[in-house]
Amino acid sequence: MKICFYALREFDELRFCEEFKKEFGIDYVYTTEYPTPENIALAAGCEGISCTPCDMSAPVLESFRRVGVKYILCRAIGYDHVDLRRAKELGMKVDNVSYPPTGVADYAIMLMLASVRKFAHILKRTELQDYSLKNKLGRDFTACTVGVLGTGRIGTTVIQHLSGFGCRILAYDICGNDTVKKYAEYASLDRVFAESDVLTLHMNANKGNHHIIGRDAIAKMKEGAYIINTASGKLIDSEALIEGIESGKLGGAALDVVEFENGLYYYNHMGKVMVNPKLAVLRSFPNVIISPHTAFYTAENVREMVRGSFKSLADFESGSKASGFEEECGF
């Protein structure tokens, strides 16, 4: 058995491939590039390909199927970049990975604290030796109500860790979670919008929640609310977010993910003209924090993401995994 890894990072993922090649008895080949018409042939002779979020539309899947690929192994929790219907029609199975939820959960809380205390703005002014207090006034995080959208593994961990701060916590999900009920109150979406000082997103992107944060949602939010997103850029309408910040309706935002980030993040674009005007506008705001999709990025998580690709292929081939991921609430 063999896996073809695409967009493999030699500086952190490669050593784990060597580790799990021995553990699972599965060989691999790799490229540091995303799939392109020129490198799809690299996957010939491989049962599966492993990829981070990239173009997995019908034509790409068809090309991989023609060279014999049977499995699309997403080296991430998200799988919305894969045309699942076409994959099924082609007889291709798709799987994603899971990893400890603490890394993303704690990163989200870090962004919450940085937002309500205006920490990024304070740091920038400190670098310029501006030690004045004007426009640096923050809020006591303990006095905030935090709304958590999505109570899967990551959302639940966020809530558990937030409980130590003494915040009032509201939660929204289409499914209930008994663990969450120990620390938070489930509420309607409109109520979470109306009562939250900080809103954090932990939902897997799908057609049902595309732009769940748009003009209507922002209009329902508290004055001065902060939006935190470590889940998926597709959950937020960037134009509506910009309008909400420019008008003063929102206090700010902290975004580890943005719309149209594929092909942008994980590359060094220094000195280049970036064709993402909405991101440029958001970066210009002093009350917006942008980080390049790094909430997941811990040694523990990277190891599990690589391991997940090897394990999924082994399970598919042995028959112990009949199908790929299962749709779940939250993350």
168-172/145-149 β-pairing: parallel
Please report the pLDDT score of residue 261 as a whole number: 87
Mean per-residue pLDDT, 128-146: 97
Q: For a pLDDT cut of 90, what percent of the chain falls above it?
A: 87
Cα separation, 146 vs 162, in Å, equals: 9
- Asked whether residue 328 carries a pLDDT value surpassing 60, the answer given is no
Average pLDDT of every residue of the chain:
94
pLDDT by residue (tens digit) across 283-294? 999 999 999 999
Provide the residue type at 20 as one letter: F
Look at residue 138 and give its three-state secondary structure.
coil
pLDDT by residue (tens digit) across 190-243? 999 999 999 999 998 888 999 999 999 999 999 999 999 999 999 999 999 999
Query: Which strand ranges, in their side-by-side order, compose the sheet holding 71-74?
Result: 27-30, 2-5, 48-51, 71-74, 93-95
Query: Considering only CA atoms, which of 165, 51, 150, 55 is closest in space to residue 104?
Result: 150
Cα separation, 36 vs 302, in Å, equals: 24
- Asked whether residue 24 carries a pLDDT value surpassing 80, the answer given is yes
- Asked whether residue 176 carries a pLDDT value surpassing 90, the answer given is no
Please report the pLDDT score of residue 104 as a whole number: 97
Q: For a pLDDT cut of 70, what percent of the chain falls above it?
A: 97
Cα separation, 331 vs 294, in Å, equals: 17
pLDDT by residue (tens digit) across 69-114? 999 999 998 888 899 999 999 999 999 998 999 999 999 999 999 9
